[in-house]
Amino acid sequence: MSDILEKIVATKKVEVAADSQKISLANQREQAEENNRDETLKPRGFIHSINQKIASGKAGVIAEIKKASPSKGILREHFHPAEIAQSYANNGAACLSVLTDRNYFQGANAYLQSARAACSIPVLRKDFTIDSYQIYEARALGADAILLIVACLERNQMQELEACAHELGLDVLVEVHSAPELEQALDLKTPLLGINNRNLKTFEVTLQTTLSLLSMVPAGKTIVTESGIMNRADVQLMRNHHINAFLVGEALMRATDPGVALGELFN
């Protein structure tokens, strides 16, 4: 099978071209700027929220709202983003991550909007960002942060996208899976560094990915261990290595009440 990430990026290019015909870049920018002047829609401080939890001795959890994934299929049938968002926020999540990719994750922009409106914690737009259009769109939707995946971007492009996000007041989570990718991620200004334990070529998940890259990360970065955090032993393993920020999806999505599951995993 060809690399899933390549496929997703190819689809994303077509989607962005079509979306920008429906709502122009100028319109997205206008809405983004309007949101930045609106008390309820202006950025909530994604990185700040994570660091605050960590400073108080707790885990900084980015709790994900994800209906399905290419590797696991449907994760949750009873899928109500506003309800899930409230449950996560009430059980100590620092932030939310909401999948908006339609084709591979059954996400939607509307899920981000309703999740954010249902709580007061910051929200990451979880998507495959390849074009600045998507960054204006993210802020226009009310997102507080965007994801940049090193594996799908060129060096210059990544820096341009980060600058665009920062100009709009969005925080950036940069995601890596290997040492060469980590080296590129360190070109960026963002202190928030996600290490994805899932290999997007094979779907193999191992927490060793995070542990093996640790020594390359300079002081001043907040490492987020992403994917495959399934139980308290996984959390403890990471915390033993002073990794205090987590991005968790599946383990919570499969639970009857995702927020209660979050509490059981971290509290």
Ligand X SMILES: O=P(O)(O)OC[C@@H](O)[C@@H](O)c1c[nH]c2ccccc12
For residues 160 and 181, what is the distance between their CA atoms, to the nearest angstrom? 17
Which residue from 15, 64, 131, 171 is in contact with ligand X, where contact means CB under 6 A? 64
Nearer to ligand X, 106 or 114 (CB): 106
Q: What is the largest CA-CA distance in the chain?
A: 49
Site for ligand X in 154-173 (CB under 6 A): none
Quick check: 181 binds ligand X (CB under 6 A)? no
Active-site annotation holds for 30: no
- Closest C-alpha to 36, from 166, 192, 160, 159: 166
The structure tokens listed for 123 are 């929200």
DSSP state letters, 38-84: STTTS---HHHHHHHHHHTTS-EEEEEE-SEETTTEE--SS--HHHH
For residues 248 and 253, what is the distance between their CA atoms, to the nearest angstrom? 9
Cβ atoms of 59 and 266 within 8 Å: the answer is yes
Nearer to ligand X, 41 or 150 (CB): 150
Cβ atoms of 92 and 61 within 8 Å: the answer is yes
Active-site annotation holds for 126: yes
Quick check: 227 binds ligand X (CB under 6 A)? yes
State the catalytic residue, choosing from 114, 196, 197, 244. 196
Q: Which stretch binds ligand X (CB under 6 A): 28-36, 135-143, 153-161, 243-251?
A: 243-251
The structure tokens listed for 69 are 């994934």
- Residue facing ligand X at closest CB distance: 249
State the catalytic residue, choosing from 15, 137, 175, 181. 175
Which residue from 43, 60, 122, 228 is in contact with ligand X, where contact means CB under 6 A? 228
Active-site annotation holds for 69: no
Quick check: 250 binds ligand X (CB under 6 A)? yes
Cβ 146 to ligand X shortest distance, Å: 12
Site for ligand X in 121-150 (CB under 6 A): 126
Displacement of CA 120 from its chain's centroid (Å): 17
- Closest C-alpha to 168, from 27, 30, 50, 64: 30
Which residue from 144, 162, 171, 175 is in contact with ligand X, where contact means CB under 6 A? 175
Active-site annotation holds for 64: yes
Which residue from 145, 207, 223, 248 is in contact with ligand X, where contact means CB under 6 A? 248
Cβ 206 to ligand X shortest distance, Å: 12
Which residue from 31, 51, 190, 196 is in contact with ligand X, where contact means CB under 6 A? 196
- Kindly list the distances between the CA atom of residue 102 and the CA atoms of 80, 105, 128, 192, in Å, as whole numbers in the listed order: 16, 6, 11, 26
Q: Which residues bind ligand X (CB under 6 A)?
A: 64, 66, 126, 175, 196, 226-229, 247-251
**Residues annotated as part of the active site:** 64, 66, 126, 175, 196, 226-227
